[in-house]
Structure 1
Amino acid sequence: MIRIAGLGLVALVLAACSGQSETVGAALPVGVAEAAGTATTPGVPAATVAFLPAGGEQLSPKDPIVVKASGGTLQAVAVTNPQTGNGVKGDLSPDKTTWTSKDRLRYGSTYQVVATAVNQAGAASEQRAEVHTLKPSGVATPALFQPASSDVGVGLIIGLKFDHDITDKATAEKSFKVTSSPDQGGSWYWVSKREAHFRPKDYWKAGSTVKLETTTFGMPIGGEVYGGQDVSATYKVHDSWIAKADGTTHQIKAFHNGQLVKTAPTSMGKTADTPPRGPTPTFNGTHTVLGKEEHKIMDSCTYGVCEGDPGYYSAPENWNVRISNDGEYLHENLKTVGVQGSANVSNGCLNMNTENAKWFFDNFNVGDVVEVTNSGGPQLTINNGHGDWAISWTAWQAGSALHG
């Protein structure tokens, strides 16, 4: 809805996201303008003012408020949100005929606009209006799946999590932009109605710079829901660090930029049905490092075996490198040193002695890769850390709303 009140010969056109135009104010008769007290000069028309771009009754907050003068120049433009008391900044064109707001507008807000134009004879005329931005039924605001970082591994998975369901995934996905240097391509994969991940076909190249940006703000993305505040992040990929852990050989090997630099015996999760708790095999598949803790209390109550239950434990562990959300770590475990390299007896973690555990702790960081094979366990899933790499490239592309 727009309300206008004018002094002088003016026209008002309001913009909205629909792209349609509607004239909502007409030129006032000269007699009315004069009665209102506007100075005129015989034979010199008053300057007119219009608000653009043209549209319906409500303005998308991603579009600017534009004020244009005809038959003269703009002397002053003031745009204020009376609900917040904040003014809106804008830029005046070199010829002083166009003013364009540069601050981001708000959803469901009313902006008071006052524009004063001066005609060729120096006579001023003023136009006042209220501009209303659209009020959607919901605003879906994205958050980064992986925070921006200048130090991540080649297994980096980036993505977005929204706080509302996205029913028009294709439209939303078009507003996501990922660039990498060197260029490696990639594709989006919708994990759920609210979450989408991005990765290339193969691991990122060491030394890459990856940038994620959204332009979803102000965009309808289905069900009368519009995009919320945009986000962006830049990631710097460090050297390639990839560990390969084999449940048959009970060895874990570390490769730095493709070169083998470390081999260590390990004990993975047990596959035998050993009382009081059954099999606890390590998940197969590509894991990435999610975080590290020098010292941590490993408590079985985190997976439902609490104090007083058979098999309960609460033990301090050192040099912990987390590789899944399900409690899997590379870490020191002195109780299993005797079988490290020969048997899998852990509760799912990759046990090592002190020296080897600390070496992995010192060298492996967030985004570095740990590939687990022959563990006897199920495949690591996409919602259990970064199981994204286990999905074939064909299936991954099919998970895109644009390419599936």
Structure 2
Amino acid sequence: MGRFLLVVYVVVVKVVALVVGVVMAGGSGGPGAPRVPALVPPPAVGYVPAGGTNDVSPRATVTAFVANGTFTDVALRGPGGRPVAGEFNAERTAWTVREPLGYGQAYTWRGTAAGTDGTLVRLAGSFTTARPEQTVRARINIDDGTTVGIAAPIAIRFEGPVRDRAAVERALSVRTSVPVEGSWAWLPADSNGELRVHWRPREYWPPGTRVTVTADLYGVHYGDGAFGAKNITRTFTIGRPQIVKADVNTHRMIVIRDGRQVADFPASYGSGSHPATVTRSGIHVVSAMYKSVRMASPRFGYDGMYASAVLISANGEFIHANPESLRQQGRVNVTHGCVNLSPKNARTYFNMAMYGDPVVVTGTSIPLSLADGDYADWTFRWEAWQRLSALR
């Protein structure tokens, strides 16, 4: 009886040892151990913005991405099935839109992602872009490829409301070929009733500077359902340094170019008999030029055509020819606020001037201000100008 139990015990021990050995071999990955196949996760596709999203900004980053796989093909289609331009990253795990989207449009994903195990997943889903209540056009005051004077402000005017000025200002940039310190400033509506933002350098522009202005406004939400209508870019050059010095008490108008006096004209300025006839003191900016322009004032009883007219303030101040005041030019101030020159001298100055030239008037009782025109930018001290930025 005892011997039988001993034999059974030995057999049981050997069986247990064999089972334990098999389990240990499988756990240690030793030779001959059974292999358990690893689980391979299928490809997972995601989207930014998420599928079903509405009111997506046309400026938003739009991307499809895949984990545990790569894209074989991707397409984002807009109205009418038109494909949107986009590109893969180097690993083909992401595809990103590379063109602006339209307003108020539905876009649908199509394509395939392949997992490392060969599993295929189809792209699907859609989103819709914002539909503006209003699109607001903007325009820049300086034409592409032009040359302007050293005091030229950059002015962007908006043909509609701009509630979120900070969002708009963040979309604006000024790049220069040499370092130039400057700032944007939001000013009251101009003489046409349009809201405007101006960029002005701290000091006069360095001559020869190449300037590129970019208003990346398409898709920017201006607030209250208004969005930017389109992007605008302008490139221009700063011309020779020319400054007009107009001291009303000397009855002369002197032109300085490249630091040298190039002209000294007898002139007549505002009589000062009424506040409206005072030529404003301060830095004016040449803003328009007319070979001939009609000037009329029922209040002061004049109406006529005047040649070689250079507008220096939207309040009606011109440098222009006036043969009627020829005898007073260089001697006494008799005008209604303009700067009168002889026909010959006015024509000479007209041919010397360009948009953006500074005209510095001194010696009068009333300073130039924003109430006098669209380009009174230089009436601000630099610190006050900077405070007019929406980003300060």
TM over 0.5: yes
Pairwise TM-score range, normalised by the shorter structure: 0.7 to 0.9
Deviations 1:317-348 (A, max 9, x none): 22222212233222222121111101122232
State how far apart, in whole Å, the 1-side matches of 2:276 and 2:128 are. 62
Query: Residue type of the partner of 2:317?
Result: E
Deviations 1:342-394 (A, max 9, x none): 11222322111132112211111111111112244552426613111012223
The answer as to whether partners of 1:61 and 1:218 remain within 8 angstroms in 2 is: yes
State how far apart, in whole Å, the 1-side matches of 2:371 and 2:236 are. 21
| Inter-CA distance 129–205: structure 2 relative to 1 (3 Å threshold) | same
The answer as to whether partners of 1:287 and 1:385 remain within 8 angstroms in 2 is: no
Query: Residue type of the partner of 2:248?
Result: G
Query: Residue type of the partner of 1:337?
Result: L
Match of residue 164, structure 2, among 162, 168, 180: 168
| Inter-CA distance 175–382: structure 2 relative to 1 (3 Å threshold) | farther
Partner residue in 2 for 1:241: 242
Relative to the length of structure 1, the TM-score reads 0.76
Partner residue in 1 for 2:65: 68
Partner residue in 2 for 1:334: 323
Greater CA drift, 50-59 or 258-267: 50-59
Alpha-carbon offset, residue 267 of structure 1:
1.2
Q: Hey, which of these two has a bigger chunk of helix by percent?
A: 2
Partner residue in 2 for 1:255: 256
Structure 1 portions without partners, runs of 5+: 1-42
Alpha-carbon offset, residue 47 of structure 1:
4.1
State how far apart, in whole Å, the 2-side matches of 1:140 and 1:247 are. 43
Alpha-carbon offset, residue 202 of structure 1:
1.7
| Inter-CA distance 360–281: structure 2 relative to 1 (3 Å threshold) | same
Match of residue 312, structure 2, among 320, 323, 330: 323
Query: Residue type of the partner of 1:348?
Result: G
Partner residue in 2 for 1:9: none
Partner residue in 2 for 1:185: 181
Q: Name the larger-Rg structure.
A: 2
Deviations 1:52-105 (A, max 9, x none): 3559823321123212234443233222222x6643111123433322111101
Partner residue in 1 for 2:345: 356
- The size of the alignment, in residue pairs, is 348
Match of residue 116, structure 1, among 104, 112, 115: 112
Structure 2 portions without partners, runs of 5+: 1-38, 190-194
State how far apart, in whole Å, the 2-side matches of 1:354 and 1:299 are. 16
Deviations 1:111-166 (A, max 9, x none): 12212233456564423322112335555544324444430000110132233433
| Inter-CA distance 260–56: structure 2 relative to 1 (3 Å threshold) | farther
Give the SS at the match of 1:330.
strand
Partner residue in 2 for 1:152: 148
Give the SS at the match of 1:77.
strand
Partner residue in 2 for 1:372: 361
| Inter-CA distance 382–299: structure 2 relative to 1 (3 Å threshold) | closer
Alpha-carbon offset, residue 208 of structure 1:
1.7
Partner residue in 2 for 1:313: 303
Partner residue in 2 for 1:399: 388
State how far apart, in whole Å, the 1-side matches of 2:229 and 2:371 are. 26
Partner residue in 2 for 1:127: 123
Query: Residue type of the partner of 1:367?
Result: G
State how far apart, in whole Å, the 1-side matches of 2:94 and 2:301 are. 75
Query: Residue type of the partner of 2:101?
Result: L
The answer as to whether partners of 1:268 and 1:375 remain within 8 angstroms in 2 is: no
Partner residue in 2 for 1:209: 210
| Inter-CA distance 176–221: structure 2 relative to 1 (3 Å threshold) | same
State how far apart, in whole Å, the 2-side matches of 1:290 and 1:261 are. 21
Query: Residue type of the partner of 1:130?
Result: S
Indicate yes or no: 2:277 matched with 1:287.
no
State how far apart, in whole Å, the 2-side matches of 1:114 and 1:186 are. 47
Give the SS at the match of 2:332.
coil
State how far apart, in whole Å, the 1-side matches of 2:108 and 2:276 are. 68
Query: Residue type of the partner of 2:319?
Result: L
State how far apart, in whole Å, the 1-side matches of 2:51 and 2:93 are. 21
**RMSD of aligned C-alpha atoms?**
2.9
Give the SS at the match of 1:313.
strand
Query: Residue type of the partner of 1:314?
Result: G
Give the SS at the match of 2:390.
coil
Greater CA drift, 104-113 or 43-52: 43-52
Instruction: Among all aligned residue pairs of Structure 1 and Structure 2, give the percentage whose two residues are the same amino acid.
Output: 30
The answer as to whether partners of 1:286 and 1:380 remain within 8 angstroms in 2 is: no
Indicate yes or no: 2:39 matched with 1:49.
no
